Amino acid sequence: MDINLLFWKNEGKTFLSRLRIWFSVLDPRSLFSSDAEIKNAPSIIGSAERNLNYESSVHAGTSDILPTVFRPQAFFPISAPLVVASFLPHTMVKSALLWQFLLQSYVAGFNHANRNTLPDQGLKTSLKQGLLIVGSVAYATCAGAIPQIVMRRLRLSSPAAQMFFRSILPIPLSASLMYFNVVVIRSEESENGIQVFDTDGNSVGMSKAAGTKAVQETAVSRAALFGTTAAVPSLVLFLLQKGRFLQSPLLLAPIRHISTAIVLGLMIPVSFSLYPQLGTVGLTLRSYFDCPILKTQIRLHKI
């Protein structure tokens, strides 16, 4: 069986074991590894259990080295300032749109780079997929800036309106947009299927059911990541103000920014660990075997 498949099959059975693995994988120091070090890692180390650098720096399906900015280790350093800036109470619609565009573009690129793909297909992007990426980013940019646009255009200044548009609405909005981002950008997996394996790690064909499962679970994990990141800082500030622990308005913004970054950093390994990287699905495979139902391994690859 492929070393990566065997690694996740043996070590990623429970949420806590996956969480432990992701905390090690997400070490940003591995971003400074050269391509030569990454390529030689399997032969030098010889075990996937010790090969976290290689595991996180290459695409699981093609074994191609991922662009540095789209590796899991780079997700927090790059996305944290974008997330914090996108939640700022912008006074100009243009600035709100700009930060939403940067955030949605990066997340779209990350989702696309880490999608399921066949070894012979590589990481090439089809024209259809390119158009879907552009459309998804454009839509999410406009939708993500709705709170600032509405407040600016309607000149809303009441405390209740500001609380709703700055603290409450961004929670479901952020979660739904990130869910939408994954579903649209990785739609080819649901339409064409992804590669499935038997219990020995041998490829047995393609499965649309497996592709749909991978996309949906990835979308849920991404929605949980950004929805929680939007919710917890607002809840923290509400409790501090309610309990009169926070008297100075000047401290509101720094506390919100710091708590947003902390929650995002903690939720990234949690969201990546919600579902296993290697799952099973029941498929009808009469063209491959005499038995009507076979439980197959699927490489979900849901980061």
Alpha-carbon gap, residue 22 to 35, rounded angstroms = 21
Give the number of domains in the chain.
1
Dihedral, CA of residue 52, residue 57, residue 63 and residue 69, to nearest 10: 160
pLDDT at position 219 is 95
pLDDT at 287: 35
**For residue 234, what are the contacts with CB-CB under 8 A and spacing of at least 6?**
167, 168, 170, 171, 256
pLDDT tens for 202-225 read: 777 788 888 899 899 999 999 999
Over residues 46-82, the pLDDT tens digits come to 445 456 666 778 877 777 888 999 999 999 999 999 9
For the chain, what is the mean pLDDT?
A: 82
Lowest mean pLDDT among 25-29, 116-120, 134-138: 116-120
Domain with 260 in it: 3-299
Percent of the chain with pLDDT over 70: 81
